[in-house]
Every structure is written in structure tokens, then in C-alpha cells.
């Protein structure tokens, strides 16, 4: 009889609507491989919590009924962290982690996260190789920003895109009710990549409909040109809706939000961007004297479970489950990636593995040729790309009119 090992799973980085669906996929696949896998350990607050000894035995502590709820529960059930492993493999943290892996008989580790988490997967598998450890480490992608390279797209993005597209469509109707001129500026997430903001194009109900201007961080933002375009649009229609990415920059590389003096740094040293919508609201008010408001869709973009894309949920489960299969096959230091295959029935994806070293610390932005030449709209190529990813509606379990989630009390 083959020896059985344990598997560990952790979640890291910013939460998404479907990161728990990937966790569900990992658990389900582990259960399906009971002949090879014994316990499923859940790292509480990612690798950082694991270092502090925070770990649970999922199948013992979480009921099957609760595990089913994970598919439609937003945010990270296991908790998350923003922790970067040191560059030096001599650092004692590496031997500590592997000592814990050994003590808990963990042979497989699945880390669900974004760019920085793939860096963790890469470093740990590098250390495993250097020390002849048999532990296999696989990354499962997760990011609403869709900025991971070497994959067609990442779980989390489809739901963010669907949320943005439907919500902007709702806001457009809301803005149209009065017979007076007004400008609405909708600020959307996406630090350096405009994928989420680009999805607002789907809100249009017909050609020429709002949002009439869409600004991504991939293109230099020119405030004067922006004001001029809004002025022209206001002549054509009562209500002008503009979608802007939080990360738009001018030609000097200054984030527009920095002009409002509201920028800070997160624990990775990334600039924390909020407020470009508010800043542009004030600019339009001053320059054009029209009624103007700004709306931030904020954290709802990453946690509105009721508006999740069913395609995204199913693909997140698939990625988690494929991660376990890859581990069992002996893969390590890899990220699960999606390859898009078109067949006669249309869109479908296949999973494969890519080296984490090629993925981490890189960023996939919207191709310039998918953005209109003047940088104020996105092209059909983007629509063709994003449309399959928002198909299907999530079905939360409801009780007393409220969604039922799987959660740890904290």
C-alpha cells in the first residue's frame, strides 16, 4: 500500500469573490484522492499564520455542509496575509516552515494567491530543491486584477468584471432619470492593469451608450484632454458617465489621485490609490460648472457574492482541483494556468502548469492594441476576450432573505 501524506492549503493576498471556490476545489480533490491524501490542513492567515503555528484540520473542523457553502462565500475563509519570504534561503524561516511541514507529514502545499503568493511558491520550491525535501508546492492563481502572466486569465477577474459591468449599467440608468446635465465619474479598481475598468464597456446597451469614456492606466492620462472630451459629450447628451481606473497616471508618471494628496503606501510598498474619481469630480465642477458626482465601487468589486460569475466560480474550483492533481503528479514550483481553446461550441479552457519563477513579480496589462487609439475606449478584441468570463449567475444558499456563508468567527 502506498504511503499517505497530508496536504496543506493557504490563501494569500487580497480576497476575491471566488478564492473560497478554489479552496473548495482543493478540498474536494483531496477527498477524491483519499487513497493518497490523508488530512487537509488549512493554514490560517496564509504562510505567515502557518509560521506562527496557526493551522486547522479542515475535514475534522469544518462540516461537509459548510464546505459546500465555500463555493459561494466571498473573501478568504482561511484568512489571508501579505507576507513576503526573505530573498536569502539561509534565513531561518525556511527551515522553520519545512520543519513544520515535516512534523505535520505535509507532502503537498497549495497556495491560492496572486503575484506575491507565486513568489512564495517559487521560493519554497527552490528551498525544497536545495534541501532535497520531497514537499511539492503549487500555486493556484487568484486576482481580481487579472494581472498574472502566462495564463489566459485568473480566477476572480470574471466576477469582478461581471460586478462592474452590471453595476455600471445600473448606475447609467440611475443617472439618466433627470432631464438636466450631469457627469458621473465611476472609479474602478486596478492599480497598474486596466482589466476591471475595461469591463465597464459591457455596460453599454447600444452603440454610443454610456459609459462614453473609459480610461485605463495603460495609457497616459491627460487632464486637459479629459475635460475637453467631457465638455463635448455634455453637448451631445444629458448624462455623461466616465469610468476611470484608480491607477491612471499622467505623462510624468504621477498618479492622478496623488494630486488630491491622498496617497499612502501598503505593506508591500505599493502606492495605495484612492481618490482619482473625487479629484476629477472637482476638476470637472471647476472647469465646466456642471452637476458632477463621483462613485467608488470600492471593495464590492471583490466580494459581491450574489453577482459572481458562475463561469468564474467553476473555473476557480477547477484550478484548485487541478492544483492537487499537479502535486500528486509530482509537479512543484508551478502555477496553474488557463489556456483558452475555442471549439465549435465556443469558449472553453484547459489547465496547465507554468513555472512560478516566470510569473511572479511580473504584471500583465491590457494590450495597447485592445485600447482605442485615443485611449478613451476599449476595442472589440477586449469584449470578445471578457464576455465568456462573465457568463452564468451564482446561486447562493439563502435563508430568511440573506445569503448563508461559511465563515470562522473572528
Considering only CA atoms, which of 248, 391, 341, 325 is closest in space to residue 36?
325
The CA distances from residue 298 to 50, 77, 400, 407, in Å, are 30, 20, 27, 22
Upstream peptide bond of 211 is cis (omega within 30 degrees of 0): yes
Residues 376-395 that bind its own copies (CB under 8 A): 387, 390-393
The per-residue DSSP string of 112-161 comes to EESHHHHHHHHHHHHHHHHTT---EEEEEE--TT---SSSS--TTHHHHH
Of residues 97 and 303, the one with the C-beta less far from its own copies: 303
Instruction: Write down the least CB distance from residue 117 to its own copies, Å.
Output: 13
Rounded-to-integer distance, Cα 279 and Cα 288, Å: 14
Half-sphere exposure of 80 (CA within 13 A, CB side): 20
Of residues 293 and 379, the one with the C-beta less far from its own copies: 293
Rounded-to-integer distance, Cα 197 and Cα 208, Å: 18
Instruction: Write down the least CB distance from residue 267 to its own copies, Å.
Output: 9
Instruction: Write down the least CB distance from residue 332 to its own copies, Å.
Output: 27
Instruction: Write down the least CB distance from residue 407 to its own copies, Å.
Output: 6
Of residues 11 and 125, the one with the C-beta less far from its own copies: 11
Residue with cell 482605442: 372
Residues 23-82 that bind its own copies (CB under 8 A): 44-45, 48-49, 73-76, 79-82
Q: Is 145 a catalytic residue?
A: yes
The per-residue DSSP string of 278-299 comes to HHHHHHHHHHH--EEEEEE-TT
Considering only 136, 153, 191, 304, the residue that binds its own copies (CB under 8 A) is 304
* Residue 254 and residue 217 in contact, taking contact as beta carbons nearer than 8 Å: no
Is 270 a residue that touches its own copies (CB under 8 A)?
Answer: no
Instruction: Write down the least CB distance from residue 288 to its own copies, Å.
Output: 16
Instruction: Write down the least CB distance from residue 133 to its own copies, Å.
Output: 27
Considering only CA atoms, which of 385, 382, 397 is closest in space to residue 198?
382
Considering only CA atoms, which of 94, 16, 60 is closest in space to residue 320?
16
Is 206 a residue that touches its own copies (CB under 8 A)?
Answer: yes
Of residues 37 and 316, the one with the C-beta less far from its own copies: 316
Is 410 a residue that touches its own copies (CB under 8 A)?
Answer: yes
Choosing from 52, 57, 116, 145, the catalytic residue is 145
Considering only 223, 233, 379, 403, the residue that binds its own copies (CB under 8 A) is 403
The per-residue DSSP string of 355-374 comes to EHHHHTT------GGGB-TT
Which region, judged by CB under 8 A, interacts with its own copies, from 60-68, 90-98, 111-119, 302-310? Answer: 302-310
Instruction: Write down the least CB distance from residue 13 to its own copies, Å.
Output: 9
Residue with cell 469614456: 213
What binding mask, one character per residue, do residues 225-264 give for its own copies by CB under 8 A, x or -?
------------xxx-------------------------
Is 314 a residue that touches its own copies (CB under 8 A)?
Answer: no
Which region, judged by CB under 8 A, interacts with its own copies, from 2-10, 202-210, 332-340, 363-371? Answer: 202-210
Is 276 a residue that touches its own copies (CB under 8 A)?
Answer: no
Of residues 210 and 365, the one with the C-beta less far from its own copies: 210
Rounded-to-integer distance, Cα 48 and Cα 139, Å: 16
* Residue 219 and residue 375 in contact, taking contact as beta carbons nearer than 8 Å: yes
Of residues 33 and 274, the one with the C-beta less far from its own copies: 274
Rounded-to-integer distance, Cα 148 and Cα 362, Å: 7
List the catalytic residues: 145
* List of residues contacting its own copies (CB under 8 A): 11, 15, 44-45, 48-49, 73-76, 79-82, 162, 165-167, 169-171, 173-174, 176-179, 202-203, 205-206, 209, 237-239, 295-300, 302-307, 309, 387, 390-393, 398, 400-403, 405, 407, 409-410
Amino acid at each position: 500500500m502506498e504511503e499517505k501524506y497530508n496536504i496543506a492549503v493557504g490563501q494569500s493576498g487580497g480576497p476575491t469573490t471566488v478564492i473560497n471556490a478554489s479552496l473548495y476545489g482543493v478540498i474536494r480533490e483531496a477527498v477524491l484522492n483519499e487513497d493518497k491524501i490523508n488530512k487537509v490542513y488549512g493554514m490560517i492567515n496564509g504562510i505567515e499564520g502557518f509560521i506562527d503555528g496557526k493551522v486547522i484540520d479542515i475535514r475534522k473542523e469544518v462540516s461537509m455542509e459548510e464546505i459546500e457553502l465555500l463555493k459561494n462565500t466571498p473573501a478568504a475563509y482561511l484568512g489571508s496575509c501579505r507576507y513576503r519570504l526573505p530573498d536569502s534561503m539561509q534565513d531561518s524561516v525556511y527551515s522553520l516552515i519545512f520543519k513544520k511541514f515535516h512534523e505535520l507529514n505535509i507532502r503537498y502545499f497549495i497556495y491560492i494567491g496572486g503575484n506575491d503568493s507565486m513568489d512564495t511558491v517559487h521560493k519554497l520550491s527552490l528551498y525544497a530543491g536545495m534541501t532535497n525535501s520531497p514537499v511539492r508546492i503549487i500555486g493556484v492563481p487568484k486576482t481580481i486584477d487579472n494581472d498574472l502572466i502566462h495564463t489566459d486569465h485568473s480566477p476572480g477577474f470574471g466576477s469582478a468584471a461581471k460586478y462592474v459591468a452590471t453595476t455600471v449599467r445600473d448606475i447609467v440608468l440611475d443617472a439618466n432619470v433627470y432631464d438636466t446635465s450631469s457627469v458621473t465619474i465611476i472609479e474602478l479598481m486596478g492599480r497598474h492593469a486596466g482589466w476591471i475598468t475595461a469591463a465597464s464597456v459591457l455596460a453599454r446597451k447600444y452603440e454610443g451608450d454610456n459609459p462614453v469614456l473609459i480610461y485605463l492606466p495603460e495609457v497616459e492620462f491627460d487632464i486637459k484632454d479629459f475635460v475637453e472630451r467631457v465638455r463635448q459629450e455634455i453637448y451631445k447628451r444629458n448624462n455623461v458617465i466616465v469610468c476611470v481606473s484608480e491607477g491612471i497616471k499622467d505623462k510624468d508618471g504621477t498618479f492622478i489621485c496623488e494630486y488630491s494628496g491622498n496617497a499612502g503606501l501598503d505593506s508591500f510598498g505599493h502606492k495605495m490609490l484612492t481618490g482619482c474619481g473625487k479629484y476629477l469630480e472637482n476638476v470637472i465642477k471647476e472647469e465646466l460648472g456642471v452637476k458632477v458626482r463621483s462613485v467608488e465601487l470600492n471593495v464590492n468589486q471583490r466580494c459581491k457574492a450574489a453577482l459572481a460569475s458562475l463561469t468564474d466560480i467553476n473555473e476557480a474550483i477547477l484550478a484548485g482541483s487541478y492544483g492537487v492533481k499537479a502535486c500528486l503528479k509530482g509537479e512543484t514550483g508551478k502555477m496553474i494556468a488557463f489556456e483558452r481553446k475555442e471549439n465549435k461550441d465556443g469558449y472553453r479552457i484547459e489547465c496547465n502548469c507554468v513555472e512560478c519563477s516566470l510569473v511572479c513579480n511580473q504584471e500583465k496589462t491590457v494590450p495597447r492594441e485592445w485600447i482605442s487609439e485615443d485611449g478613451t475606449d476599449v476595442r472589440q478584441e477586449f469584449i470578445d476576450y471578457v464576455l465568456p468570463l462573465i457568463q452564468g449567475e451564482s446561486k447562493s444558499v439563502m435563508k430568511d432573505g440573506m445569503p448563508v456563508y461559511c465563515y470562522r468567527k473572528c
